[in-house]
């Protein structure tokens, strides 16, 4: 009732010569373009990492105040804000 082979004989025969054939070494211009772009991006990244420097971050105590001074906001009554507009 059941066959020991899962595939038809024709399918197996078609697969036997599958790995035989000519080697193609020619590439299209688009593959060379993609290779060139990728290689250039990698080269720029490596050069940037090797020659770039960074600035050490430090914390400073104090306040940032604009040149003209702080803005004074007057309210109609002391400590009462009637509305907030975004």
- 60-72 pLDDT, tens per residue? 888 777 888 777 7
Q: How many domains does the chain contain in total?
A: 1
Dihedral angle of Cα 70, 71, 72, 78, to the nearest 10 degrees: -100
Q: Which residue has the higher pLDDT, 10 or 2?
A: 10
Q: What is the pLDDT of residue 28?
A: 82
Which residue do the tokens 């050069």 mark?
47
The torsion angles phi and psi of 38, rounded to 5 degrees, stand at: -65, -45
Residue 73 lies in a domain: no
Residue 32 lies in a domain: yes
Q: Which residue has the higher pLDDT, 36 or 85?
A: 36
Residue 41 lies in a domain: yes
Instruction: Give 5-62 pLDDT, tens digit per residue.
Output: 777 888 877 777 666 777 777 778 888 899 999 999 999 999 999 988 877 888 888 8
Q: What is the pLDDT of residue 47?
A: 94
Long-range contacts of 47-54 (CB under 8 A, 24+ apart): none
Residue 61 lies in a domain: no
Residue 21 lies in a domain: no
Range of the domain at 32: 26-55
- Those residues whose C-beta lies under 8 Å from the C-beta of residue 75, and which sit 6 or more positions away, are 81, 82
Q: Are 37 and 44 in contact (CB under 8 A)?
A: no
Q: What is the pLDDT of residue 84?
A: 81
């Amino acid at each position: 009732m059941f066959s020991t082979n899962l595939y038809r004989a024709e399918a197996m025969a078609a697969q036997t010569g599958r790995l035989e054939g000519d080697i193609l070494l020619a590439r299209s211009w688009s593959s060379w373009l993609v290779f060139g772009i990728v290689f250039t991006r990698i080269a720029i990244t490596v050069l940037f990492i090797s020659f770039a420097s960074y600035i050490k971050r430090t914390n400073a105590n104090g306040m940032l105040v604009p040149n003209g001074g702080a803005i004074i906001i007057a309210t109609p009554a002391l400590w009462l804000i009637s509305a907030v507009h975004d």
